[in-house]
Structure 1
């Protein structure tokens, strides 16, 4: 990372992980009032609106070829697949299952980066990733009873695995467009094109499942939760994630994803008063060491 701009990778993707750290609790709470696919649609719709407003100011005269729009559309499909399966899977699984399956996302990203972008898989990068995985699992073992894995729906676990693979594909497939244009434009137009795909699924969810809009009234906390998911966890976090891809490879950016469950555990302690033990600190140190090893691998 000789380019000074590359130093941005040390905090921008990690900021995305911080924002995602509280997403599981917020979305799980939101499901009490809004069905999963409907909440995913609202999240992406709000995120797309925010991103589009920013990109119109930043790049007012940008135009794209048909091939570019096809690329954005492919990314939009991955967004729709990821958001739909992630929210349905989260609704059907336990907290421990959701947090543990999250570990698969950077693993898938590393593999797809090597397979499709021809990124180099060095021993140092592999070792750092393994350290980060071990640290994350160590943290989760202190936060949850991992012996209860499997208590949730098998379908829910399957949905979360698909969501992990989908986000990895979104990360890797976005690289060519990020190189050609920018992280902001790629995140914006892929999100915008995902909106109609998720919109189509909302009436399907309400018609063919027992899902209903259960909230009697629009409350302040509910609005805050939806705005958190749309503005922070989507618009800001997705831009930050892709911004890291501007200056480094997918395998390096992916390692920051391991911070998500660790941030979630820390927020649980601060906001909800949950206890954290020595596993949290030991696991956090291992994860941080893994991130350091990966980000200094070149």
Structure 2
């Protein structure tokens, strides 16, 4: 279920280039986040409590606000699949951050698996005949770093607990992040792009609906639900499915060339994912375990 999220994210680049108006990355990011967040908020019918007001805002900026803005800048300035391929460095970033913040064990095998994943996506990129844009690559790298930090913080803070002692549904926490990130994006939209002056076409509307409902609401619910149950390092490797899906869609739908070396790169990436998600890279911090147990009711603690 967690793997479904990056697979859906891999369709973002093709959708943006085929259906969305050109030169409006902040509009695309805002219309992707806010409708999805409001929909999930209506379904969950729960607002943040206590510290989760500011935690949701921080996570919303990292996982949604900054990430979406840079994602669409990259999507508009890079050919389909190339921006997603830059995300291949994410498992290494998450592994490094998780080892410092979450005390997940940084093993040599995990580092090798992450490096292999980067090598695999490099095979795909280096065999591409598409022109690479410096600003687009910088935006893709910045978005990857932003989401890596958001993943580690989301894992560190865990799921909030209601006043009755029950964990809050990932549906609600996903909604909080999407609304917070969408609100931030709407401010940036008004400052830097402004509201659209030309009416949206039917393909534009369909593209926005797909990205908001499927590529965001469904995908992020699956992602944060899985992140709550998986080590951050293992979940990050699943993110490598995004560039694989993006490059395959570029070949199937957009008619982009797919060389034998790119096929080898895809196989290398899939092998890296298989190695990364089967490793036990988490070590438990007794202090954190005791702290979590103290937050649980007595029946759950037993």
TM-score normalized with structure 2 length:
0.81
Corresponding residue of 1:259: 241
1:270 Cα deviation after fit: 2.3
Equivalent residues of 2:71, 2:139 under 8 A apart: yes
1:35 maps to 2:24? yes
Give the stretch that moved more between structures: 20-29 or 179-188: 179-188
Matching residue of 2:76: 91
Judge conservation of contact 1:109–1:169 (CA < 8 Å) in 2.
Answer: yes
Question: How has the CA–CA distance of structure 1 residues 106 and 16 changed in structure 2, closer, same or farther, with 3 Å as cutoff?
Answer: same
Cα RMSD of the aligned pairs, angstroms, is 2.4
1:251 positional shift: 0.9
How far is the alpha carbon of 1:95 from its aligned partner? 4.4
Alignment partners' CA distance in 2, 1:192 and 1:272 = 32
Counterpart position of 1:126: 111
Q: Do the aligned residues in 2 keep the contact of 1:178 with 1:242 (CA within 8 Å)?
A: no
| Structure-to-structure mapping, 1:104-119, within 5 angstroms | 104-119=89-104
* Segment of structure 1 superposing worse, 42-51 or 93-102: 93-102
Q: Which moved more, 1:255-264 or 1:91-100?
A: 91-100
1:10-159 mapped onto 2 (5 Å cutoff): 12-33=1-22, 35-56=24-45, 64-78=48-62, 79-95=64-80, 97-142=82-127, 144-145=128-129, 148-149=131-132, 152=133, 154-159=134-139
Instruction: Identify the residue that residue 163 of structure 2 maps to in structure 1.
Output: none
Distance 1:279 1:200 in 2: 43
Q: Which has the higher helix share?
A: 1
Give the corresponding residue for 1:244: 226
User: Any stretches of 5+ residues in structure 1 without a counterpart?
Assistant: 1-11, 57-61
Gaps spanning 5+ residues in structure 2: where? 161-167, 281-302
Indicate if the aligned counterparts of 2:81 and 2:247 stay in contact, CA closer than 8 A.
no
Whether the 8 Å CA contact 1:133–1:258 is kept in 2: the answer is: no
Query: What is the count of residue pairs matched by the alignment?
Result: 272
Q: Secondary structure at the match of 1:104?
A: helix
Q: Name 1:4's counterpart in structure 2.
A: none
Q: Name the CA shift for 1:102/1:214 in 2 (closer, same or farther; >3 Å).
A: farther
Q: Is the 8 A contact 1:13 1:244 kept in 2?
A: yes
